[in-house]
Amino acid sequence: MTAGRHVVLGVTGGVAAYKAAYLARRLIERGAAVRVVMTASALEFIGAQTFAAITGRAPLTDLFSDTDVSPHTTLGRWADTIVIAPATAATISKLASGQASDALIATVLASRARVVVAPAMHTEMWEHPATQRNLELLRSYGYEIVSPERGALAGGDEGVGRLAEPETIAEVVLSHLSTLDLAGLHVIVTAGGTREPIDPVRYIGNRSSGKMGNAIAQVAANRGARVLLVTAAEPPDDPSIEVVRVETAQQMAEEVWSRARHMDVAVMAAAVADFRPRDIDNSKIRRADGVPEIELVPTSDVLQGVHEMTPRPLLVGFAAETGSLDHVVEKARSKGVDLLVANDVTKEGSGFGSDTNEVRFVRGDGSVTDHELMSKHDVAEEIWDEVLRLRAES
């Protein structure tokens, strides 16, 4: 389970390249998935085979020999962190000016990942104003620099410029990768808005985009949980999340009820239709036949079914409200959830389809926490933090 812990290790041409092999091993031991990109001069110092043996995958060494037509974008998107160790003065200069002339710089440019740069070079090169100016530029891009240490340098010289210890670099890299505090938990998440067919072309639906449920599933996977996502929307592109696609409330109910009993946590983020047409026409309803009368009947309450299970998972419900949240404490009580996440979908930044949400947490005991407007990703992190607290208390 390495989602959220993907590290691209860039190795450039310096004597310290051998230390990159230790760094790769250290990162893998600490739970990261590591893929390596090497520059041509790195290959003068250490063999690609060394990294292939450590990481289980041949390093990317140039942009054109890989079977992937666009290896730099594939790798750039895969990465959560790119760490360049050792980074030579030449690579730092190319990075500063965005010169995507090799596979490593192209990968960095094609990525939104965090970048950590660990330089190694002779003292004179390190202190040269060009290098220092380039490092300033890298800092201004938000890159983190792991400064070189004082010590023995190539050719018997001594001074500042020696690559920081692999352990130090690994610490910096891992400090930002998600902790695996949900490891061992088996969770089920529902997402999206269900669609209740009227005839073969029409349905009753709602505006839910599935973004909140996707974020909850993704964050859980990043934090090490085994995740089953039952969704009526487009799921995240992450092979570590098991996905079951459904359309109607009834299908969602059947999938959830047959799978949830032995789960540790169930998060019901889907906007499930409360009513469906009693009959579904086999052929398209024609305008010429006049205005149809569509009789609605209640759907199954998915959450209610999970609540009645014994044993049952820790249960998180959602309440998409339009207006005041005054009654959500009562809603949490009546639904019997351990946590209710309520929001006013008419409020700016909190609606269906937006990337942000402003939520109120109501615990089973009626206590309330109001959160500020934040990204749906951060709301998901808060939900899992709260789930861990509730599990610790129970």
- Residue ranges binding ligand CTP (CB under 6 A): 190, 249, 268, 270, 272, 274, 299, 301-303, 317-320
Nearer to ligand CTP, 104 or 269 (CB): 269
Query: Which one, 292 or 351, has the nearer CB to ligand CTP?
Result: 351
Q: Which is nearer to ligand CTP, 128 or 335 (CB)?
A: 335
Burial 179-210 (b: 16+ CB within 10 A, else e): ebebeebbbbbbbbbbbbbbbeebbbbbebbb
Q: What are phi and psi of 119, to 5 degrees?
A: -70, 155
**77 vs 369: CA distance, rounded Å:** 35
Quick one: DSSP state of residue 286? P
The whole-angstrom separation of Cα 96 and Cα 93 is 5
> What one-character DSSP code corresponds to residue 310?
S
Q: How many angstroms separate the CA atoms of 93 and 128, rounded?
A: 12
Q: Which residues sit opposite 66 in a β-bridge?
A: none
Residue 298 token pair: 């209640």
The distance of closest approach from Cβ of residue 299 to ligand CTP in the complex, given in angstroms and rounded to an integer, is 5
Q: Contact at 8 Å (CB) between 269 and 213?
A: yes
Beta-bridge partners for 171: none
Overall residue count recorded for the chain in this entry: 394
Complex with ligand CTP: residue 221 or 320, whichever CB lies closer: 320
Q: Give Cα 259 distance to the centre of its chain.
A: 24
**Angstrom distances, CA of residue 237 to CA of 144, 221, 356:** 28, 12, 20
Least distance between ligand CTP and beta carbon 389 (Å)? 20
Give 3-state DSSP helix, strand, coil % of the chain, rounded to 5: 35, 25, 40
- Name the residue number minimizing CB distance to ligand CTP: 302
* Shortest Å distance, C-beta 10 to ligand CTP: 44
Angle at CA 105, nearest 5°, toward 99 and 110?
100
Is 206 tagged catalytic?
yes
Nearest approach, Cβ of residue 303 and ligand CTP (Å): 3
HSE-CB at 142 with a 13 A cutoff on CA atoms is 7
Residue 210 CB, shortest distance to ligand CTP, in Å, is: 12
User: Which CB atom, from 76 or from 213, has the smaller least distance to ligand CTP?
Assistant: 213
Instruction: Look up residue 155 and give its DSSP letter.
Output: G
Residue 335 vs 371, nearer CB to ligand CTP: 335
Element at 329 (helix H, strand E):
helix 328-335
Q: Cβ 239 to ligand CTP, closest distance in Å?
A: 26
Residue corresponding to tokens 């990768």: 177
Rounded least distance, CB 322 to ligand CTP, Å = 9
Residue 153: name the closest of 14, 328, 320, 298 by CA.
14
Nearest CB to ligand CTP, comparing residues 106 and 302: 302
Task: Considering the candidates 206, 214, 222, 343, report the single residue annotated as catalytic.
Answer: 206
Residue positions annotated with a catalytic role: 206
